[in-house]
Structure 1
Amino acid sequence: MPGQDDPLPPLVWDPQRVQIRGFTTGLYQIEWLLVMLVTFYLVALGSPGEGEGGMLLALVAYFGFSLMASQLRFFGDRQRWLLAIHTWVMISFITWFLYSTQGVTGPLASLYLLAVVTSALTLGVQATLLEVAAIAACYLLLFQLGDAKLMTPANLALVGSNLTVFLIVGYLISALVHAIQVSNRLLLAMASQDPLTGLFNRRAFDDLARPIHAMAQRSQRPYSMIVIDMDGLKTINDGLGHDAGDRALVDLAQRLRDCARSSDLVARYGGDEFVLLLPDTDADGARSMMQRLLVSVRESDLCFSIGVASYPEHGDRLEQLFSHADRAMYRSKASGGSRVSVQDQAQPEEHE
């Protein structure tokens, strides 16, 4: 389960993946904007005769690289290093273009800002600062290779003002993206967690259970579904108040969290009903786990009924397994509670 310092659920709840997918379209648009600006410049002002062939080749190669990446969908699995490659390729292309035209003293020296914006949107503050440092090195290289002299008041002011703008824009965009991501994380926690117990809620459990079921089908490995329902919660609420009932629910939730593995899903499914999904665990393993849980609450006032169903032994659909586990839980409840029933057993097992 997620820690207090990170409210996001694990598995498919991945904010960085969402961020990458969200900004990928913007990345290609920035790259194609760069291509259009360079093309417009070459059409409007023409290109120097000596470097015309190399410049056109670089333009076609860069556009082809961006187009190929957009069609192959490189960014499906948090491959942030590929995003970094795009920004470094962009810086290299801009540097080549400036070297082939009027250098950093020309009207398009600010094209580096596109690379800074791209990095700030997708890679964060540290990567953006590193790229601004690389751009500063490219400035020095272009001055060294060109005819202009860096150590003049006008050129020093040009370089200093451009780099300052790059730093400010990069930092502000990175900070804005971070703030948006934090807001999304909090909203996601509110949408996926039960506010009383901190466990997953029903919606999150259903979403997270599906890929585990699909993986079990592909690998032909078992998993178990466990349904737990508290016995006598209404009596606690009526006799001791709802605060006492809430404390009992929180106590049970904590015990479930403590006995579960990091790969297990634990959720409050609604009211006094909890559900667990245990990957790579058959019915015997799930039953043993629940028997240990019953031992741990023997000296407490907690009382609950448990039902177990396993894939593929008791069904091949997620909904079917939940229904079987729920039915087994009601058999435990009908037999007096504080018991574990497995779907294919005629009588529930009473813990001794």
Structure 2
Amino acid sequence: MKDQDPLPPLVWDSQRIQIQGFTTGLHQIEWLLVMLVTLYLVVMGIPEGGSWELLMATIGYFGFSLMASQLRFFGDRQRWLLAIHTWVMIGFITWFLYSTEGVTGPLASLYLLAVVTSALTLGVLATLLEVAAIAACYLLLIQLGGTTLMTPANLALVSTNLVVFLIVGYLTAALVDAIQVSNRMLLSMASEDPLTGLFNRRAFTDLAQPLHAMAERSQQPYSVIVIDMDGLKAINDSQGHEAGDRVILDLAQRLKSFARSSDLVARLGGDEFVMLLPDTDADGARQLMQRLLASVASSGLQFSVGVSSYPEHGQGVEYLLLHADRAMYASKASGGHRVSLYNTVQHEYG
């Protein structure tokens, strides 16, 4: 087993999950913008000057959004791609207003779509920056329209719209922040074991699958270890369940201290734990567990361990978990407090 962490720390990123969820909504907002622009052109007619450029811009913008939705541009933490979409949206709206009636027309409020999109996906600071860019676009459109800003009507128009954009953007971003806090709490409740703070069975299953897929692509081994305490029932019966919980916590802390940041450690339930060690073969996992057993020799803590490894002991996480569990029971049948590899017991327990 290598000393260096081969993979980044395993965590569930609620913000990333939420951004990926907003991706579909982003494309729907973009298509709504195209529909509104198309409806305006059908009802009001295409302007005489620059009609070709306006049609090409509308088609090009729709094509950009459609291509992004099909190619799934939004990977892990690629927030800058979301920012590109909002800035392209602002540019398209500005071109459309310039080609039609400017900021005095009925569709000047289209900028709200860009503000809401930014607030949903990028946060308060990015939204404030885009509102400032929209303000500059307003001033540019007024200047290009041949009018002056310093009139009561234009000042009222610009200031009112910008205040609305700021309020909508801030409130939407604040709401998204509250949703993210709630999501983090829900993810914690759904993925953590309340006693030990380790991942639970469901989280282990969800997080183990991408690690298996990575091992398949890279043709690297990984090991699954099942650990079950010896004599916990006797402790609960003689000293009470609080003493049993303390022993479980002791083992959980020891497992975490022996694990790398890339290793997956979870409590399956009761006194049974599981570890997934990326880039680690069966011999490396066995040596790690033997060191762990040696470290608790004077503490009285005892547990049985079973090890299976990809690809030699199975082609999927569920099979490796089953085989490691069988190897663990072989350790118990041999007297407990020892490590067994699945390949040494597979004929007896397979």
Aligned to 2:99: 100
**Relative contact order (C-alpha < 8 Å, sep 6+): which is higher?**
2
Aligned to 1:15: 14
Aligned to 2:266: 267
1:258: how far off? 0.9
1:336: how far off? 2.8
Query: What's the secondary structure of 2:343's corresponding residue?
Result: coil
Aligned to 2:53: 54
Supply the distance in 2 between the matched residues of 1:212 and 1:229 (Cα, whole angstroms): 23
Structure 2 residue runs of 5 or longer lacking an equivalent are: 1-7, 346-350
Aligned to 1:122: 121
Report the RMSD for the aligned CA atoms in angstroms. 2.0
Supply the distance in 1 between the matched residues of 2:289 and 2:111 (Cα, whole angstroms): 60
Supply the distance in 1 between the matched residues of 2:111 and 2:118 (Cα, whole angstroms): 11
Q: Which moved more, 1:166-175 or 1:207-216?
A: 207-216
- How do 1:141-152 residues align onto structure 2 when only pairs under 5 Å count? 141-152=140-151
1:52-102 residue CA offsets vs partner (Å, 9 max, x unmatched): 222222222222222222232322444322211111111111111111222
Query: What's the secondary structure of 2:203's corresponding residue?
Result: helix
Supply the distance in 2 between the matched residues of 1:30 and 1:342 (Cα, whole angstroms): 55
Aligned to 2:69: 70
- How do 1:13-52 residues align onto structure 2 when only pairs under 5 Å count? 13-52=12-51
CA contact (8 A) 1:222 1:312 kept: yes
One-letter code aligned to 1:106:
G
Aligned to 1:113: 112
Query: What's the secondary structure of 2:131's corresponding residue?
Result: helix
1:208-227 residue CA offsets vs partner (Å, 9 max, x unmatched): 22222232233222111111
Aligned to 1:203: 202
Aligned to 2:242: 243
Q: Which moved more, 1:197-206 or 1:100-109?
A: 100-109
One-letter code aligned to 1:148:
T
Q: Which moved more, 1:266-275 or 1:216-225?
A: 216-225
- How do 1:128-277 residues align onto structure 2 when only pairs under 5 Å count? 128-277=127-276
CA contact (8 A) 1:17 1:76 kept: no
Pair 312,29 (structure 1): closer, same or farther in 2 beyond 3 Å: closer
Q: Which moved more, 1:111-120 or 1:27-36?
A: 27-36
Supply the distance in 2 between the matched residues of 1:172 and 1:10 (Cα, whole angstroms): 33
1:12: how far off? 7.8
Aligned residues, how many?
Answer: 338
CA contact (8 A) 2:115 2:165 kept: yes
1:119-171 residue CA offsets vs partner (Å, 9 max, x unmatched): 11111111111110110111121122221211122211211111111011011
- How do 1:292-307 residues align onto structure 2 when only pairs under 5 Å count? 292-307=291-306
One-letter code aligned to 1:319:
E
CA contact (8 A) 2:10 2:261 kept: no
Aligned to 1:86: 85
Supply the distance in 2 between the matched residues of 1:281 and 1:331 (Cα, whole angstroms): 22
User: In the alignment, does 2:347 pair up with 1:343?
Assistant: no
CA contact (8 A) 1:306 1:339 kept: yes
1:318: how far off? 2.7
Supply the distance in 2 between the matched residues of 1:198 and 1:343 (Cα, whole angstroms): 28
Aligned to 2:284: 285
TM-score (norm 2): 0.90
List structure 1 segments (4+ residues) > 3 angstroms apart after TM superposition.
9-14
Supply the distance in 2 between the matched residues of 1:314 and 1:106 (Cα, whole angstroms): 69
Query: What's the secondary structure of 1:344's corresponding residue?
Result: helix
